[in-house]
Amino acid sequence: MEESNENSQFQLTDVLVESVQQLIESKDDSALHDQLSEFHYADIAEILEELNFEQSIYVIKLLDSETTSDILSELDEDLREKILENLSAKEIAEELEELDSDDAADIIAELPEERQEEVIGLIENEEHKAEIQELLNYDEDSAGGLMAKELVKVNENWTVTQCVREMRAQAENVTRVHSIYVVDNNGKLIGRLSLKDLLMAPNSAHISTVYIPKVDSVHVTEDAEEVAKVMQKYDLEAIPVVDDNQILLGRITIDDIVDVMKEEAEKDYQLAAGITQDVESSDSIIQLTRARLPWLFLGLIGGVGAALIMGDFEHMLKDYAVLFFFTPLIAAMAGNVGVQSSAIIVQGLANDDVKGSINSRLIKEMFLAALNGIILAAFLFLFVWIYKNDMYTALAISVSLVIVIIVAGLIGTFVPLFLDKRGIDPAIATGPFITTSNDIFGILIYFWIAKLILGI
């Protein structure tokens, strides 16, 4: 009892993994059980990720389902899928009995369809079964897909004594209490009773006289990202979910929202970096190729486009070869400016922070890009002038650069705003998509302007 913060000190070391592996190989079940029972289920999940597949199965079959159900929830989807394939429908059903309805529904949803029904049929607790079946009907990216059925609710007509008695019974099934929701006789959400209020309230009070009639809620079909925004804005740790008639259906807790936010951030980041699917560095080369190749192919097409454009200007090669030397610079600047502008818009849209009309945004970006472009072009002008001792060529390249940067900034600003207006995720406009189109436009504009200035 001296040193009680053992969890935060957990370290996944090679020594630890090896000792677990040795205990598995020597089939020393009681020692293995003793060692693992010291750890939090999230730590055991981390250990399993380091073991080979047979060893993981061994551990899962050894531990009781109260622990393994939580471990399964924590595991990487790939490993969980493989483990579930090796468990019988009965074994899976036993795991699910131990989980909250939302986690259980998430795991069932990952099973092949014919197995889903078999597993559900084997869940013994009828209420739990019905709750899971209900949750399976909701879209996984909606409030219904995030919510759990477990919550503490009390009727406005109860007395505090009745209420506390009922709550004690309900609380046994609820991992964390958070808020106590108050409903009317029809199950309609009419308010909440905070735990703090409960602590402060005199024991003799009546629910309808002590509850708070103001309560945030979200509709069951609300988009998960919207729920995350609401909870974050109002600093909520749980939010009740209601249907069209304001009937209380479930509640969403902040830990689910943290996961939504993290996934969202990772998805945006990966789109900006040109990776299409949700991949990790530990995934197979085939999986990683599938995530990376499409964007590279896009880049290839952009490059071929640029080459074709340059082929059209081949006649300028003899007298103005230096123009061609700066095409990678032009393409890179067009790409970078485009990515910068689109990233700022995408983030602004995610934070509901983009104010004013599209036109006013474009005008601002034009001035911004012009300012950046003129500063950069001044340096480039001096460099080319000194390097080639040809002021006209230096001027042509520099002026082109300014125009290219302005156009790139405008495209980077316009495309995500346009996609967003059309209801398409603007994050796809970042990364290789904008880079590629800006490469082509950039080089085309560059040669046009240079031709105009040099009078060819």
Smallest distance from the beta carbon of 9 to a copy of itself, in angstroms?
9
Residue 199 makes contact with a copy of itself by CB under 8 A: yes
Question: Closer to a copy of itself at the Cβ: 133 or 208?
Answer: 208
Smallest distance from the beta carbon of 217 to a copy of itself, in angstroms?
4
- Residue ranges in 278-297 that form contacts with a copy of itself under rule CB under 8 A: 279-282, 285, 288-289, 292-293, 295-297
Site string for a copy of itself, 124-163 (x = CB under 8 A): ----------------------------------------
Smallest distance from the beta carbon of 122 to a copy of itself, in angstroms?
27
- CA dist 427 and 408 (Å) reads 17
Amino acid at 231: M
- Residue ranges in 207-246 that form contacts with a copy of itself under rule CB under 8 A: 213-218, 230, 232-235, 237, 239, 242, 246
Collapsing DSSP to helix, strand or coil, 55 comes out as: helix
Question: Closer to a copy of itself at the Cβ: 89 or 329?
Answer: 329
42, 89, 122, 456: residue in contact with a copy of itself (rule CB under 8 A): 42
CB neighbours of 44 closer than 8 A, spacing ≥ 6? 36, 59, 63, 67, 71
> Structure tokens of 189?
């959400």
Question: Closer to a copy of itself at the Cβ: 78 or 91?
Answer: 78
Q: In sequence order, what are the beta bridge partners of 218?
A: 241
Smallest distance from the beta carbon of 197 to a copy of itself, in angstroms?
9
53, 64, 121, 317: residue in contact with a copy of itself (rule CB under 8 A): 317
Three-class DSSP labels, 151-198: CEEEECCCEHHHHHHHHHHHHCCCCCCCEEEEECCCCEEEEEEEHHHH
Question: Closer to a copy of itself at the Cβ: 127 or 353?
Answer: 353
Stretch that binds a copy of itself, among 52-60, 90-98, 104-112, 250-258 (CB under 8 A): 250-258
Residue 302 makes contact with a copy of itself by CB under 8 A: yes
Do residues 434 and 393 lie in contact, with contact meaning Cβ atoms separated by under 8 Å? no
Smallest distance from the beta carbon of 421 to a copy of itself, in angstroms?
15
- Residue ranges in 383-422 that form contacts with a copy of itself under rule CB under 8 A: 383, 387, 405
By CB under 8 A, how many residues form the interface with a copy of itself? 126
- 393-397 long-range Cβ contacts below 8 angstroms, 24+ apart: 393/320, 393/322, 393/323, 393/454, 395/453, 396/323, 396/449, 396/450, 396/453, 396/454, 397/322, 397/323, 397/326, 397/446, 397/450
Amino acid at 230: V
Residue 337 makes contact with a copy of itself by CB under 8 A: yes
Residue 167 makes contact with a copy of itself by CB under 8 A: yes
- Residue ranges in 69-98 that form contacts with a copy of itself under rule CB under 8 A: none
- 385-389 long-range Cβ contacts below 8 angstroms, 24+ apart: 388/322
Tell me the chain's radius of gyration from C-alpha atoms: 30
